[in-house]
Amino acid sequence: MAEEQTVQSEATEERTERLDPATRARRDAALRHVRVYGDPSLRSRARSIEVFDDALADEVKRMGRLMDDALGIGLAATQLGVMHRLLVYRVDPDAALGVLINPEFGYKSDELETMEEGCLSLPGVGVEVERPLHVRVRASDETGAPVVVEASGLEARVIQHEIDHLDGVLILDRTSRDQRKQAMRAMREAMAGRQPDSSPAVSA
């Protein structure tokens, strides 16, 4: 499994390096909207959404567009400085946009999996994070309709990563002390050089 994840990470990095100028420009423009480490919104708990209206639908569309342009597979509203309990994700490029509003876990498996994760808000960072392999989440969609998602593997990991964001928790809080120290150094170097993130296996 570790070898497979490493190959996935390397393949993602290679695709990022081969971006055509227009795609790279869209990615850079999208990333300018994403709050980075040190912004207080990333350490704050988001507020529940009570009004489901056109403004919320527009917010969902904007988040999906920015996530896609940034070449991410998940995005939480707090990463844009919006304190709403709202996340979007798309693990499969051909899948519909996943939208979870006011998400709550109904189940987390005892079976765990460790995988490298990155974050659009932590440039240059990739750390190993252990998470439950299977989850069930109850939420609402942008119309207010109830949604239940049963997810496994990468989809479950992305959902957990984004819900962490809504609670002010970062992947730095879920990794070892040594990896956290290395990540902080890598992030300082990436931000000083204004480089895009290194696109680990999961970047959300």
pLDDT tens-digit map of 77-119:
999 999 999 999 999 999 999 999 999 999 999 999 999 999 9
pLDDT tens-digit map of 171-182:
999 999 999 999
Query: Does residue 12 have a pLDDT over 60?
Result: no
Q: How confident is the model at residue 200 (pLDDT cuts 50, 70, 90)?
A: low
Q: Give the closest residue to 81 by CA, choosing from 194, 147, 165.
A: 165
Q: Which residues are catalytic?
A: 162
Query: Does residue 130 have a pLDDT over 80?
Result: yes
Cα 122 to Cα 40, 70, 153, distances in angstroms: 14, 13, 22
The pLDDT of 120-148, averaged and rounded, is: 96
Which domains, ranges and CATH numbers included, belong to the chain? 2-192 (3.90.45.10)
The pLDDT of 56-67, averaged and rounded, is: 98
The whole-number pLDDT of residue 68 equals 97
H or E stretch at 76: strand 74-76
State how far the Cα of 120 lies from the Cα of 35, in Å rounded to an integer: 8
User: Angle 127-15-201 (CA atoms, 0-180°, nearest 5)?
Assistant: 20
Q: How confident is the model at residue 25 (pLDDT cuts 50, 70, 90)?
A: very high
Higher-confidence residue: 166 or 197?
A: 166
Query: Does residue 198 have a pLDDT over 80?
Result: no
